Amino acid sequence: MIFGPYISSILRLLLPPEHRADLAAAEVALGNAASSDGRLVLGKVLLCTGKVKQARNVLRAAEATASDAATRALAGGYRLLADFADFGVCRDWGAGPPLEVARRWSLGAWDSERRLWSMHLPPLPTPAAHEVWFVTQIAPLPNELASARTPDETRPLYGRMVRAMQRVEAGELPEVFVIGTLLVHTLMLRLLHMHPQAQQSAARGVEYCRAAGSAVGEGLFALLADDIATTTRTTPEVLDLYAGDARSLSRSPLDALEEGPLPQRPADWTSVFHGQSGARTIFESQGWHIGVGAALVLAASWITRAKPADVTATFEIQHLAEAKSAFQRAADDAGTQLVQCRLLAAGIEQNFPFMENNLQAARDIGVWGREIGSFSFALGLGFLLLAFGRRWQRRGDFASALRAIELAAALFEGLQAPVASADAAMEEAELLAAGWESIQGIPALQRAFDAYAAAISTMGLPQPDYLDAWQELRGRLAQTGALLLAWSAGRPAFDRTRQRLLDLNVLPGMSS
């Protein structure tokens, strides 16, 4: 689910048929696999369930012990995909990567390793060659596009997609890879704001899958068509916050998650309120629980964004609870974490009692991202909670906004992401200042300032690979320092902050 229900479904279809229906049972059955082939299948199963860190370790062992070129190449390709899902596109996700990301992965470093690895691939049997090509070159494309910042970075991605579509048109690929490539093409069109073309591509996918007799594929394209129709945003919630989006979910463009044009309103709300759709019907007939969960998440998201502000979250909570059950049946850890995050936010909107167990549930999501699943995915869920807080703040509901920020802070605490924790503290300070008075926000602002300063100290002198992140972090420290000086004039925090800025050679209000 790290790659959303679309790519994740393709990866599941690439599993041996006996393991597709019940991944939890497959994990148990393969748990003691000693052969490289068994470890390869176990690694693929773990990756599909969202247990990225375990998958990486198993796939690395399979790659090291494989006796034939095909198994070694497949294990290496999936291992690269697991690396990518965890840190690959968190290059400089906002304040920069002093502790959270830089010591692990950057997009550039991952791409360099992929190229070097590909250069040493021997000739492979056609089935293995197709699978290696898809998991290393095609499956990551939407995430790479979401993180690209310059034309020099995006141009090769377009070229790779064009060549992939040429292979589809030439009839070179097996059915499952045609479906996967068409899905990736549609996702990229969506991310490029080319919604009419994306809808046409989704319709083409439905026709292809219907003709090929692939009900799961037809359901995936029907779901994607619904997804495109409900929003114009480039951060689709049903795609589970691409790992790549974590980079663009920094505080400055955070509002993109919840702002923008309202989704298209359905002619009949009845089916949406009841979570019914053509895609869900197809998935239920096939027992494809990950698709059922995604369809329910989409229905909940649609209601959340389109309903009037005074309407309760009853229907969203119902859909999300059903989605959580579906993801659990699909043995999908990441989908379950997404729904848990959304349920926490919906509980605030429904005015459920806010207790310590809510904060603990948020911390558990962070711990999952740090120890089991994807760091970047959990990071994105934390930013999603901050986005909910922004939405409630715009509506004047400061109490709900503050609770959402507290949840995000707890998640970042569990994730051990200090810079993201500083972002949450900044959100809290600005909210308190806006809702009450600036003096109320000084403690939170002080926490944010100290965290940014500690991160700058940890980074030390800027390295070429992270110069932009270093400069952005210094800029954030400078802006926070300027606010703290303004709010704490005449108080002890003023002298402390001024001295700390002098020690770090940072001018308040601007990066240096």
The model's pTM is: 0.85
What backbone torsions phi and psi does residue 345 show, to the nearest 5 degrees? -70, -40
Residue among 388, 496, 400 at smallest CA distance from 442 = 496
Enter the tokens of residue 428. 């809290």
Other Cβ atoms within 10 Å of 34 Cβ, number: 7
Distance CA 156, CA 275 (A): 39
Give the tens place of pLDDT for each residue, 136-173.
999 988 878 876 767 888 899 999 999 999 999 999 99
Give the tens place of pLDDT for each residue, 381-401.
888 888 888 888 888 889 999
Mean pLDDT is lowest, of 59-73, 159-173, 190-204, 320-334, for 190-204
Confidence of residue 328 (pLDDT cuts 50, 70, 90): very high
105's CB contacts (< 8 A; 6+ apart) are 83, 86, 87, 88, 90
CA 225 to chain centre: 20
